[in-house]
Amino acid sequence: MKRSPFEVATLGVVLALSLCLLLPSAARATAGALEVSRATALEVAAMQNATKPFGSLPEAGLADPTYTMTVTATAYNSTPEQCDDTPFITASGTTVRHGVIAANFLPIGTMVKIPEHFGDQVFTVEDRMNPRYDKRIDIWMEEIPDARQFGVRTVAIEIYKVK
């Protein structure tokens, strides 16, 4: 006699439940203990793996710059006069630190080098400037005298593609 898929599935469920009820409690307890033992072994293996040394990992370098351009560069500090009411938080939500720049014409996360003034140091666009500034970068500096000494300069920047 041919059965419908629903009848076959129902029969399978009934058989599975019957087997579970027919297993002696000792066998069920042994199966449960094996599961707990296996889970514990997996947890221990994971903890051991987490503490193993990784060896030497390759360092990722930047590819060639996407393009180079000349822009006006200034420097800023985390003061309410130069920023908004949250001077230590960038427009991207990170905390200001060495290597952060503000720019309106580049996407957040863009990596930039300023080789003439900072060599191979990589800066990341994480902040924005007043909307009136276009084609300008603003480099975050910790000390006010350093920013004043930097002043306003015309610099060549290398722009790297955002990943």
pLDDT of residue 53: 66
Task: Establish if 81 belongs to a structural domain.
Answer: yes
CA distance 110 to 101: 10
Q: Profile the chain (163 residues) by mean pLDDT over runs of 10 residues.
A: 65 56 54 63 71 64 82 87 70 89 93 93 91 91 92 94 65
The count of structural domains within the chain is: 2
Task: Establish if 78 belongs to a structural domain.
Answer: yes
Count the Cβ atoms, other than its own, within 10 Å of residue 160.
17
44 lies in the same domain as 81: no
45 lies in the same domain as 72: no
pLDDT of residue 117: 92
24 lies in the same domain as 102: no
Task: Establish if 111 belongs to a structural domain.
Answer: yes
Task: Establish if 55 belongs to a structural domain.
Answer: no
pLDDT of residue 88: 73
Residue range of the domain that includes 43: 5-50
Count the Cβ atoms, other than its own, within 10 Å of residue 127.
21
78 lies in the same domain as 153: yes
∠ CA 61-65-68, nearest 5°, is 150
Structure letter (DSSP) for residue 108: T
46 lies in the same domain as 114: no
CA distance 16 to 22: 10
Task: Establish if 56 belongs to a structural domain.
Answer: no
Q: What CATH number is associated with residue 119?
A: 2.40.40.10
Task: Establish if 138 belongs to a structural domain.
Answer: yes
Count the Cβ atoms, other than its own, within 10 Å of residue 112.
22
Structure letter (DSSP) for residue 144: H
Q: Which amino acid is at 26?
A: A
- Buried b / exposed e over 12-44, threshold 16 CB at 10 Å, is eeeeeeeeeeeeeeeeeeeeeeeeeeeeeeeee
109 lies in the same domain as 81: yes
pLDDT of residue 140: 92
84 lies in the same domain as 142: yes
pLDDT of residue 99: 93
SS3 102: strand
- Please give the helix or strand (H or E) that residue 27 lies within, else none: helix 25-50
SS3 159: strand
